[in-house]
Chains A and B, each alone.
Chain A
C-alpha cells in the first residue's frame, strides 16, 4: 500500500507540467546565477562559484523559494482528493490511513526533493559548462567537488524541505483547503521575516540560529566571520549549532506529522456543515411558499423575448470592470497579498536599520524607497500569478463557452482584466503607503509630502508595472495554457536580468524600464523626470501594440491554436485597433528616436563591456606614465560661474605651477573632465596637443621644459554642460539645486588617471592586465613627497570667485571677501588665509542656514528647510570637537567651519578646508530622540572636523597606510569627543558595531587583507579596525599618552610635504618610550592581522570564611593569538599581554546596566590555559576576560562566563 501510494504520487506529478516547469525554473535560476555576473544568489567577493560556501548559500536562499514548491506539491497532494472530487470514490474503499497517508506524503515529498535537486544541478552544470565555454573566469572556479553539493543538499536543503513538507501537509490535511495552506505559508513567511528582523541583534543571534527552520541564520551564524580562505575550503559540517538546529527541526516535523498528519484517523470526507433550522429559516420557507404560489406564476408571463441590442461596449465595459475588480479584490489571494505587503513593510519599520543602529526620521523619500524596494519581487509574483488567473478566468471557471459566444468585444474582456490587475497593483501600493504614513504619524513626523507618493509610486513605479502586466497578458494569450504563459513570463523576467550581460543594457532594450529617477529633498526630481517621460512614451507605444494584439488574439472558445487566432487578428482589431497599432508604432519610433538622439548622439552611452575594454586599453597605452612627474599647483584662483537652471558651469582656474621633482618636465598627460565639451590647459611656454578622443586624454607639451623648482603661470578652462538626457549616466555634481563639485571633477586633471583602471581582479585577468597594485609599498621612498591625494597635489594658496543665480548662494573654501548682486547673478569672492590642500569644493544651492560664533570661529550649517532636526547637534559637535582637538592636538587653522548639505545622490560627508559638504542621506535625518542610541550626526560631524587636523594639517605620503593617518586618526578623535559627551558605554556600543563590521568586511575582501599600517584604502580596515585598534591603544596606554604622541606627530609634520609622513612615522611616535610588552602589543595591532581567541572556560566562586560578602573567584582562561595571512589563513603565535579581567553582578553585554562592575583590572595572560584568582566583595554573576571586547576576537561571546 505504502509503496503503491508512493508510486502513484510520483507518477501523478511526473505527468504534470508543473513538475517540469518548476524544475526548469529552479535549474535556470541557479544556472544563470552561476554563469552570469548579473544574477547573484549566494557568494560575493572572491568566493569560488562552486566552493562549499557559495553552494551552501545558494541552496539556502533557494530554500526560501522552496516554500512554493512544497505548497504546490505536498499540500496539493493532501487536498487533491477533495479538489478533484475523487474523495467519494476513494473513501468508500478500505484504506489503512497510515500507509495511505504516509505513502502519499512521501511520494509528494520525493517530488519536492527531486525538483529541488535541480538547484545544485544548476550550479554544477553552470560551473562545468561556464568554465568550459569561458563564461566564467577559471579563477572563480575551484575543482569540482561533488561532496560540497551533497553536503549542502543533504545537510541544509533536505531537512528544511522535510520540515516544510510536514508542516504544510499537516495544515492541508487538517483544513482540507489550499487557501488555508497559502495563508499559513504567508503566515510562516511573515513570522520568519519579522523574527529575523527582531532576532538580528547580536544578543539573539544564537537563538535565531537555532530556531530557523530554513537554517539560513544558522549557516550565517556559523560562517559569520569566515574569511575567503574559510569560504573556499571549509566543508559544511553537520556539527555544533547546525546539528542542533537540524535535529530540533526534524524532531518538530516528526511530531507535527504524528499528531496532525492524519495517520490515526480514518480517511473520510470533509464534514459538510449543515445549517441549523432556525426560526428565521422557517420564516424563509414560508416566504418561499408564497413565492411559489403567487409571484412565480406571474413571472411566467414575463416577456422573455427582448432582442439583443447588439454589442454594448459601454455597458459591457462598466459591468465587466466592476465584475473583474470584485473577483480579484474580494478573494483570499488578494487579502493574503495585502497582508503580506503590510507585514513586509512593518518589519523594517519596527526595527529600522540606520547608521550604527540609530533609525532615521521616516522621511517620505525613504518611505517611498522602502515601499518600492520591499514590494519589488512581490509585484512580479503578483503579475505572474494574476495574469494567469485573470486571463484564464473564463476557461478555469468553465464559463468560457457561454461567455465567449456572447456578443462582447474582445477588448471588453482585455480592458476590464487589465484594469483589475492594475487595481491590484495600485491597492498594494496603497496598503504600503497606508503603513508608512501611519508610521510617519506614529513617529511624530508630519512632513508627509503626499505628492511624492503619488509621483514616485503612482507614476514612476506603477506605469512600468502596468506595461509589464500588458506584456504578461500578451504572453498568456499567445500560450495554449496558463502554465506556459507563466513560464514565458518568468523567462521574460530572467531574460530582462541577463540581457545586459549580452550588451543590451540600454534601457531601450529592457521592457518598460527607464533610467532611475533619483529623488532628493533638496533637488526634488531635478531634471531627471523629463527623460522618464520619453521612455514611458516609448514603452507606451510598445504596450499599445501589445495590447491591441492581445485583445485581437484573445481566446474565444476552448483553447484554439495561436495559428488559427492569428488568422482573425485583422477581423478583431478592426479599424480602431489598427489605428492604435499604428499610433503605438509611431510613438515607439518617435520617442525611440528622441531617446536615441539624446542618449547616444548628444550624450555618450557605453555598455559596460566596451567601457572595460576602453579602460584596459587606456591602461595599456598610458600606464608607463603612471609615475611621470607633473607640475604641482601652488596657487589657485578659481573663477566659477554656475548656471543651476541650465545645469552649466563656466570655470577658469588661474594657477601658479611649479616642478617639485628633480628633473625637467617636458610633457604631461591631461584628462578631460566628464560632461565637458570645451576645455583647455594653458601654461606659459607650452600648449595642449591633439586630444585622443578615444580616451579623452591629451598631451600637454612644453616648448621650454619646466625645470625643477621653476614657477610658471597657467590657466585651466572647462565649460561643463548637460544637454538633453542620458540613459542613466547622470551628472549628479551639477544639478538644479545642490551643485557640489570638486576641482578634480570640474577641471582638466594632470597625469595618468589611476582611477580609470579596472579594479576587479577577474576583469583584469580577462584583459590580460597584471594584478592591480592598489597602493605603493610603504617602504617606497619615491612616493614620500607625494600626498595621498596623488601625484602633483600639494598645498596651495587659494582664492575663488564664484557666481550663481540670484536664488542660490555659492560657497567654496576660504573667507568671504565680498558678496554682490549683479543683475540676476550673485557673485561671491572667497580667499583663504592659510595653505590648503589642492582639493576644494564648489557648491551652489538654495538652503536655509544657521550661524553661530564660538571662540572667534564662525560655525555655519546650511541645510534643507525640512532637515533642521539635528542642526543644533551638529553645531554642538563642531564646538566640542574644536575644543578637544585644540586642547590635545593643536590649534584650528581656520576661523570658520561650514557644513553644507548636498543632495542624497551621494551619501557621504567630506572634509575640505573649513568646509564640509554633508549628504542629506546621513546625519541630518537621524532620529536622535532615543538617548540610548548612538548619535551619528554628532559622530560624523566630529569625524569631519577632525579631518581639519588629520588630512588638512598633516598629510600622508602616497604609500600603503595613508588612510590610517587621515581616517583612523579622525575616527579616534571623533570617538574621544563622543566619549566625553556620551560616556564610555556608548563607545562600547559603537565599538561593537565597528568590530563586527571589520570582521564582516574582511570576510568579503576581494584581494588581500592588509595589516592596519599597510591598509590599501580598505574601508573596513582604516575606519572599522582603525577605531577598534586606536581605542584599544587608548585603553592600554591611556588617553593622555596617546594624545601626546599624536600631538607630537602633528607638530612635527604640520603642513610638511617633503616628505609627507607614513604610518611608520606614526608608529614611531606611538611606541616612543614603550616597554617591550607594549611594543609587541602595538606590533600585533598595527603590523599583523591578529585575532585573539580569549575564552573563560571555568569560574569557581568560594565564599571567604570569616569575611562576610567576600568571595575568592578563580577563573580559568584559555588564550590564543592567531595571525592571519591576507586570505585569512591562520597560524598560532605565542603571546603574553595584560588583559582585562572583570567580575560583574549583571551581564556586561547589557548596555543599560549601571554599577555592575565588581572588579576590573588588567592581568597578565599568556598563550594556553591561565588561572586567575581574585578576592572580591559581593557575589559576582558574570566573570570573564576582556569583557568589553577591546581585543579583536572572532567569538567574543565566550569571553564571559555566566555563573
Chain B
C-alpha cells in the first residue's frame, strides 16, 4: 500500500530570521524539496516615488537614503546624477572624486553585509557576520567624518557633495585601504576553502546567463554567470573611465560564484579608492546650484552600478520645485524575480542560501 503523502505549504516570513527584512515566501514542500514558491512583498512599501512628488529636489535625497539602507551613498549618487542631467549642471572634479570615494566605500560596506548574512543563512553561528560588521563599522565611521551620519547619509547634492572631507578623513581612509585587503584575506581563509561552505554552495542554484539576461538581472548576480556587465565600464559615469580596475566574473552562476564575485569586487573597490587618493586635487566640491532647484521642463534617466545591480532614477520635471514624476529602477526588485526559477527542486536550506546570495534589500524592493 503506498503511503499517502501530501505537500505542505509554509509561509516563510514576513517574520522569519532570514528574510532580510519583511518578505514572505509562500513555499510548498514535498518533504524537504520545494515544489513551488510564490514571493509576496510590499510589507515595507512607503510610497517613496509618490512622496518625492511633494518634496523639493534637494529634499528627495533624504528619501533615497531609505531605499536600500545599506547602500545609501550610491542611491544618493544615482538620484543626484539624474537631477544633474535634468538641470544641465556638472559637479566639480573634487566633488566627483569625493562621490566616487563614498560610493566605493559604500559598495564595500554593502558587500560585507551581503557576505556576512549569506554565511549566516548558511548556518554559521554569526561569526563571519560579526567579522564583516567589524569592518563595516570602520566604513560607517568614515561616513560619519564625511557628513555626520552613518546610515542615512544624504551626503551628495545636485552639483557636488554637501561638504569637503575634513582633514582627519584622509589618514583614516588611508589606514582603511591599507588594512582592508588583510581582512579580506582573513575572510577568505575562514570561508573560501571551508569544506562545508563548498559543498553547500558549489553547484547549487545555478543561474544561466540567458535566464539572467531574460530576467533583466544585473549586478553581481549577472556577473557571477560569467557575463562581464558593469555600468562603471559599460557606461562610465562620473570619473570611472579614469580608473584602472577589473570586472570580476564567476564561472557557473551558482551560490559560490555569487559569494566569490562580491569578495573580488571588494578588492577592486579598494583599487579604485587607492587611485582616487592619488588623483584627487584641492578645489571646489560643489558648483553653485540653488537649494530650491527648478530644472527646465524635461526628463532624464541616470543609472549607476549599485552593489545590487543597475540602480536607475528616471526624473520628469514640469519646471516646478519638485519632480513631476520619479521612477526608481530597483535592482533588488528585478533580481528577486528570478528566485522562483532558481529554487524549485532545491531543498529548504538551499532556498534560504539562494535567496541570501541574490542579496536583496527589502527597503529597495518595496520602495
A in complex with B: no
Interface residues of B (CB under 8 A from A): none
Interface residues of A (CB under 8 A from B): none
